[in-house]
A and B are shown apart, each in its own frame.
Chain A
Amino acid sequence: MESFFNAVKTVPLNHYILLSSVLFCIGVTGVLLRRNAIVIFMSVELMLNAVNLLLTVFSVYRGDASGQVFVFFIMALAAAEVAVGLAIIVMIYRNTSSIDVNVLNRLKW
């Protein structure tokens, strides 16, 4: 077990930050690229996970457990957000029979 974690000890901090940045930017690109509201929502989840990973890495790097507690809070918040967001998407679909975000570009009715 100890040798298993020694294998990770040689990864520089910057490579972890780079990985999280790449995942975050892929999430941003997904939000800009797609028109399906659910896929846009999933891209937001991808961004949240990139930030979670980075918080965990910093927590391990500094030897401080607070970062991992914050990841726990972010997960609780993400669960609440997904419940409300999907309810809103279902309601929008019920009213307009579409979840294309280009149809939802005007806030009337």
Chain B
Amino acid sequence: MGIFYFIAFLSVLFALLVITAKNPVHSVLYLILTFFTITIHYILLNAQFLAIVNFIVYMGAIMVLFLFVLMLLNLNVDSEPVKSNIVKFAAVIGGCCLLATLFGALKLSASSKPVLLADPGLGLVKSLGKVLFNQFLLPFEISSILLLSAMVGAVLLAKKEPKAA
């Protein structure tokens, strides 16, 4: 009970630090910490497969890609031009309005049933693999084509074009 609220507080704190940090490298590092707290949430829900995949794919691969691009473009200095205070104020107000809307629309202040872990083996690789390769076989194969096309697109985009004489 207490550990959930502690980790949730840490998630929100690090997420706030992501969008307020001046230096983009600090933003990336805080985002890695946020993803780590989300991984802990997965472990608390006993979704072991997702915890490991989140850890490896998100924190390992995607964040390193962000950091690599930041260093590649020499953007690891806090030289970002700041928006005017009015725009900042409007952005924060807009975010708070969205949160208030969600809070009201979903009736989040009402009491609800606790999240019970009915089947302890639900998030394990065995049960997820059975669902993935029986019910979701076609989407799984199509997602491989998606990854291939994304790779080809990224290579084509990042390739230097030969100068047209």
Q: Are B111 and A68 in contact (CB under 8 A)?
A: no
Give B contacts to A, CB under 8 Å.
Answer: 1-5, 8, 11-12, 15-16, 18-19, 24, 27-28, 31, 34-35, 38, 41-42, 44-47, 49-50, 53-54, 57-58, 61-62, 65-66, 69-70, 72-73, 75, 80-83, 88, 90-92, 94-96, 98-99, 102-103, 106-120, 122-123, 127-128, 130-132, 135-136, 139-140, 143, 146-147, 149-151, 153-155, 157-158
A61 partner residues in chain B, CB cutoff 8 A: 113, 115-116
Q: Are B8 and A19 in contact (CB under 8 A)?
A: yes
A37 to B147, CA, bound (A): 23
Q: Within the complex, which residue of A28, A42, A93 is in contact with B18, where a contact is CB–CB below 8 Å?
A: A42
Q: Within the complex, which residue of A8, A17, A42, A100 is in contact with B108, where a contact is CB–CB below 8 Å?
A: A17
Of A7, A43, A53, which is in contact with the most chain B CB atoms at under 10 Å from its CB? A53
Q: Within the complex, which residue of B91, B115, B116, B122 is in contact with A32, where a contact is CB–CB below 8 Å?
A: B91
A102 to B120, CA, bound (A): 50
Q: Are A91 and B65 in contact (CB under 8 A)?
A: no
B70 partner residues in chain A, CB cutoff 8 A: 38
A36-81 contacts to B (CB < 8 Å): 36, 38-39, 41-43, 45-46, 49, 52-53, 56-57, 59-61, 63, 65-66, 68-69, 71-73, 75-81
Assess whether A107 is interfacial by the CB under 8 Å rule.
no
A46 to B32, CA, bound (A): 10
List the A residue with the shortest CB-CB distance to B130.
A65
- Given A10-B1, A35-B80, A68-B128, residue A22 in contact with residue B41 (CB < 8 A): no
- Given A45-B31, A59-B122, A76-B143, residue A13 in contact with residue B83 (CB < 8 A): no
Q: Are B99 and A21 in contact (CB under 8 A)?
A: yes
A interface majority secondary structure: helix
Q: How many A-B residue pairs have CB under 8 A?
A: 252
A77-101 contacts to B (CB < 8 Å): 77-84, 86-91, 93, 99-100
Q: Are A5 and B19 in contact (CB under 8 A)?
A: no
A90 partner residues in chain B, CB cutoff 8 A: 69, 72-73, 157-158
A57 to B47, CA, bound (A): 9
Q: Are B46 and A60 in contact (CB under 8 A)?
A: yes
A41 partner residues in chain B, CB cutoff 8 A: 66
A32 partner residues in chain B, CB cutoff 8 A: 90-91, 94-95
Q: Within the complex, which residue of A2, A23, A68, A84 is in contact with B150, where a contact is CB–CB below 8 Å?
A: A84
